[in-house]
Structure 1
Amino acid sequence: MHAMQGPFTLCLSVLVCGALLAQSEERQRKVDSLQQVLGSALHDTDSVSTLIAISSLVTGDERMGYARAALRIADRGLPGSKGERRGALLRGLGGACSGIGSRLRQLGQRDSAIFYYQRGLEAAREAEDPATEANLLNGLGVVLYQSGNIDSALVLMEKSLAIREATGDSATLAASCVNIASMHHARGNIPMALEMYVKARDLAERRKDMPAYATVLVNIGALHEGQHELDSALAYYRRSIGPLKELNNTEGLALAYNNMGTVYLTLKEYDRALESVRNGIPPAVQGRHHNALSDLYFKQSRILEEQGDLSGAIIECDRSILYADSASSPRGAAYGHIQRAKITRLMGDARSALRYALLSVDKAAGLDELYLKKDRAQELSHIYEALGDDHNAFAQYRLFTQLSDSITNEKNRKDLIRNGFKYEYGKREAVLMAEQEKQDALADKELQKQKLVRNGFMGGFGLVALFASVFFVQRNRISKARKRSDELLLNILPEEVAEELKDTGTAAAKHFEQATILFTDFKGFTEASERMSPQELVEELNTCFKAFDGIITTRGIEKIKTIGDAYMCAGGLPVPTSSTPAGVVQAALEMQAFMKRHKAEREAQGKPAFEMRAGIHTGPVVAGIVGVKKFAYDIWGDTVNTASRMESSGEVGQVNISEATYALLKHETGLTFSPRGKVQAKGKGEMEMYFVTTGD
């Protein structure tokens, strides 16, 4: 069977931050210097440009935090501004939108990313800022590519390249060439893809542009994989890992490891496949790359299925679906439900499997993808056969064979095109490999030289080493114990608070002007618990809360505590830029989606299940440590009480938010709000409330 969700993933380069600073120390020095400049800035234009400069030197949510700060200042200053000041503010707004859009894209919030990219484009064009316009076009193209709109993505990226060439912006040319090559690659135009990859590689080497160079390695590996040259594919993927780690390119690392897992899965080397995929999960979690996490958990599910671990495969598949929904990826969700259907059928529950397979149809609405349709038809054929429905089984099998023929015909057409360029492909590839082997040989020679020098000292230092070994063994034991102690501390306290506690022995309570608090609890918990054994009740709570922990961790939200069946977490602390009100709302929606799926599964097995309410409010809080023994990080204030009332005044299956949270999110794309009017809240009187759902 064709491996679902595509044979490989292309790694796209989205460079908006100028030249690479290879050493983290140098980067931090620049950040520190710019923060001093920021503190003495006299004009809003200086503050905006400095914040944009800092955001270009940091990554992830920290980058988005600085970009949002720049955007707020630019928005305040633009009304009534004129001349050079207006131009500077518009340039800053364009740069801020580029940084915000890039991070939202990584988080899978594509509609929001598109909004910021388009807003930035308007500002960059009014300011006549071609460099920022090119960056924004490039970023918007990446979002469209990830949404499956390859043709439109290619048009935008070619516009971006034309601007960069016209303005002599050689620093970002390699990134543009990588992305255009990726578009041709995705369309099956291998000769054009190879030509652009070679051009990108040459530009990256001349400019010492390591981000683009690392991306080229991943994508040439994918090109080899598409040609079924699996050893060469693995060689390129492995070669990319070092540069990607050096750059702390978490998204690229996740993709490279995912692609390696795909190759090993194809080779039926399941242990290596599992190791590769699991290596990709930490960088994906660190960078909160929901698309990548969906792919990685999907791949892990496929591997476990092949190994016969169906229970494990279901857990990983559910995680994949969760992240696909979070990333607004209908393709990922559709493949995830087909995989869920297959595993459920193999476990003997064909009726539940049918429900999952039909859900994939809903998830894939609007997608015209032959592989997806073929895999779904094949699985439906198996399910109907297991149910004894021969008529539908035959109809789906006939559709499966028709789609398989269409795929074969398309593959043959592309093979004819590829064969016409076989000589040119081989010639260019030989040059690539020869140059790389030369570089590897020089590196090996230098390594041997270092070994000779090192061995010369070994004899003289033998006795010292004997005594030193005792010291190092003891030091390692202490180090391991300290590491374990730190890990335990981080399980109960946020990292920043834990560090303060270790450094000073205390951690002062702090005021946060804007935190977003989420409460959940289960309806009918007492009644359901009466139908479960104590062990089953605890296991069920643990299953739900573990899922919640995973959801909030990827969004930078801080877990506060659980009380019985209630779960409490907060965004915007202990670091204000760690998460956003929109992120907390998205987390609540993901929790509800998980609970609905989990309820359907348990009811299909004849087991009692929980339903959930969720409530959210945004406002000021005080946060800190309470107690001396068994201390805990907690939050206080009327905001906490109001959030609790939002939960208790809500309804099962809904996310209920306050007017304060709504005011912050009412223009957020991808969310739909349903006013409830004034609702009586215990101890609060009547309050405006809103149900929020994901947009259509």
Structure 2
Amino acid sequence: MESLYTIWEDVNEPDSTRALALYDYIYEGPFYSAPDSALVMANQLYAFTKETKYDKGTVDALNLKGYISFRTGNYSDAFASYKEGLSLSEKINYKLGTADILLRTGFIYHDNEDVVNALKYYQKSLKIYQEIDDLDGIGSIYNEFGSIYSVKGDFEKALEYYLKSIAINMELDDEMANSAQYINTGNLYLNKDDYEKALEYFHKGLAIEKERNDKLGRASALSGIGSVHLEQKNYTEALNYLESSLEISESVNDVQGSTSILISIADLHLDLGNNKKAIEYCKKSLALAKTVGDLGGQEYSCECLYEAFRAIGNINQALAYHEEMILISDSIQTEETAIKLQQIEFSKQVLEDSLVQVEKDMEIQMRHQAEVQKKDKNRNLAIGIGLIFFLLAVGFYIRWRFVKKSRAILEKEKNRSENLLLNILPAEIAEELKEKGEASARDFELVSILFTDFKGFTEKSAELSAAELIEEINDCFKAFDLICEKHGIEKIKTIGDAYMAAGGLPVPSENSVLNTILAALEMQSYITRRILEKENTDDFTFEMRLGVHTGPVVAGIVGVKKFQYDIWGDTVNIASRMESSGAVGKVNISQETYELIKDNPTLKFTYRGKINAKGKGEIDMWFVEKI
């Protein structure tokens, strides 16, 4: 490839024209075919424009650097370039550069499914594009709005915005700019099962991407065509297109795209009964999804592996991936809850901004009326002013009623968000998180840890469908939740078929040990009753072991995006051994727990002697029951 330095010297024009020519050269050439080379050249362009103090060129170079980094998945570098470019463009009042950078910053948030922040940047960008009458920019924003409505499942709105964007590019005589819109529209029709329309738009996009040699674009179009053939059961055609797409995605290190394509190929092999092939592709997709934190890809890959291993009779592996899939699904639900909270907060901020603007408008209008009264005391004008005041008063009254109603709606939404947060975290921790923005880990000297585990869960899972298995576990865990709430102990988490709770945190209590034991006894009583009920109906349920140990722990929030309250310490490990060393239908407790409640007259204890616990040696254990 020709050196950028040579090209710079060959352009016998002012620096501004040179910079523009180089920008076009990079964007139309190596940007699509060789992103790594394009990034090197963009850095050189940045150096030239800085050296010649051509600020607009520097903004364009930073914009280009950021966009190349974004397309290759390097979001941190993209953010850094955009931040520097935005600061400079606002300083020199370069509106087009500002709008372009705001739009592309929105791309990053959109790509990471943070729609709230993506919309903030899109709306700021759209306002500037409309102000400078830049149709190309407006068309790009319409395309992104279409993608947002597509994810929400609003087909009509999504199609409306995609077609608006396409129409603008047609008006600008820039058919080449429609490739993304065509591919997006193809995906829209694919989701509606309109395969003929989907293929029409995918092929349109593919033709453009081939012409401009955009590897990522070609991979996306080929994947779309392969997906259509897969839905139509045209397996040979589907595999050809999907493998071609995968080859391109891997060549440009497009991890997100490769993950999606690997899952589609795995689905194809599952349909054909090639279970070993399906396992091979699902494992690859799972590994890639984990490298980029793609929870959706991880969940689907685990589901695929569960189906494939179950089909070949490897029940243990199938169960392991099924449990992993459930854990990932829980994380996704927690993340969706956090997004809902974000959206509520965003709506609240929008309304508050509107109220501030109303107050400013009122102040401006009142000053204007005062000036009019002062300048002209004519009676007819005074009547007119009075009429204006009357109309303003009516308007303000209507606005006041609207604001009052909006505040009531906000209060309702706030209460909903509070309830969502309390479903994730203990009340005290949630309150600290809201006040300080963080919740510190704490040491607790006396906490009783409760563990339960279902006997024969693995064997039963081989006999039952996933739906039956999950339904039974869910019924039991819902009952345990109510028992924990009744006795004032905190549910910590579920791990597969295991249930973990703790007494004495996040607020220590004198009765926490007794309350934990009472909760444990009630859980075993519930399971005993359930077994008797199920025997009468020939339905299945599980027998259960339950163990309790008391001691010091550290407790706090895990993570920064998907909050989870968790506890650590050797006390947790010993509590787990109490459960695994226990007996079906019994509550097994440690010597430490026994010493704290042995004088309670309502409880009866049976010494079991020293029991060998895995990794902990011999431990004194007791069975406890109610008198």
TM-score norm. by structure 2 comes to 0.49
Give the structure, 1 or 2, with the largest relative contact order (CA under 8 Å, sep 6 or more): 1
Q: Bigger radius of gyration, 1 or 2?
A: 2
TM-score norm. by structure 1 comes to 0.45
